[in-house]
Copies of this chain bind each other. A is one copy, B any other.
Amino acid sequence: MNITAAKEILKTHVSKVTTLTEEQFDYIFSHFQYQQYKKGQTIITEGTPVNCEYFVLSGCLKSFFINDELKMFILQFAMPTWWTSDYNALYSRNKATVNVDCITDAEVLCLSNEDREKLCREIHHVEYFFRWRTNKGYVASQKRLLSFMNNNVRYRYEELMALYPELYNIVPKNLIAAYLGVSRETLSRLYTPEK
């Protein structure tokens, strides 16, 4: 993908939420850095500082946490036009507690914390955009929490597949299980009849 195509994707995404002049958008875009990653590559590593958030252009990322028993929990998948980072670390300027890596080859646009805050200060519409985006994330997170408390694995699996059918082909089942907070064995048994 060339830079022009990347710019177009971001522009389309942002335009759905707020309006910017050509010059404003050019200025904003100049703060983003285009990056390419290979499948399996790590973008954010637990224990290291976090400087950027990432806008996905192509491919699929995951943000995940590994507990003491080395069990993995997936906080979020990130498909094209999604944003991801370790937001806790990013805003509090702590070291990452979460990892981000690539499920497939991926292209992203990277925006530093300082540049985001600068752009938010300089351009009111950018501040609006990020408020909107964070709000969407918050509502989605609350919904997921509720579904976690309320529904069993099977229901949550079907809910996820209905919402993001593209995950079915791209993401291996053990990662789906780690997102649903269930063992891969249980996920595998969901549709086997009782004996």
Contacts and interface: CB of A to CB of B under 8 A. Distances in A.
Interface in A125-180: 127-128, 130-131, 134-135, 137-139, 141-146, 148-150
A181 B149 CA distance: 6
Q: Give 5 nearest A-B pairs by CB, closest first.
A: A149-B181, A131-B131, A141-B141, A138-B138, A127-B127
Interface of A: 65, 67, 71, 73, 75, 87-88, 91, 120, 124, 127-128, 130-131, 134-135, 137-139, 141-146, 148-150, 181
Interface SS of chain A: helix, strand, loop or mixed? helix
A95 to B, nearest CB: 15
Nearest to A91: B135
Nearest to A68: B150
Contacts of A71: 150
B130 A73 contact: no
A142 B85 CA distance: 12
A146 B75 contact: yes
A142 B75 contact: yes
Given A73-B146, A134-B135, 9 more contacts: A75-B145, A75-B146, A87-B135, A88-B143, A124-B124, A127-B128, A127-B131, A141-B142, A144-B145
A7 to B, nearest CB: 24
27 contacts: A65-B150, A71-B150, A73-B146, A73-B149, A73-B150, A87-B139, A87-B142, A88-B139, A88-B142, A91-B135, A91-B139, A120-B131, A124-B124, A124-B127, A127-B127, A127-B128, A131-B131, A134-B134, A138-B138, A141-B141, A141-B142, A145-B145, A145-B148, A148-B148, A148-B149, A148-B181, A149-B181
A131 B135 CA distance: 8
A93 to B, nearest CB: 13
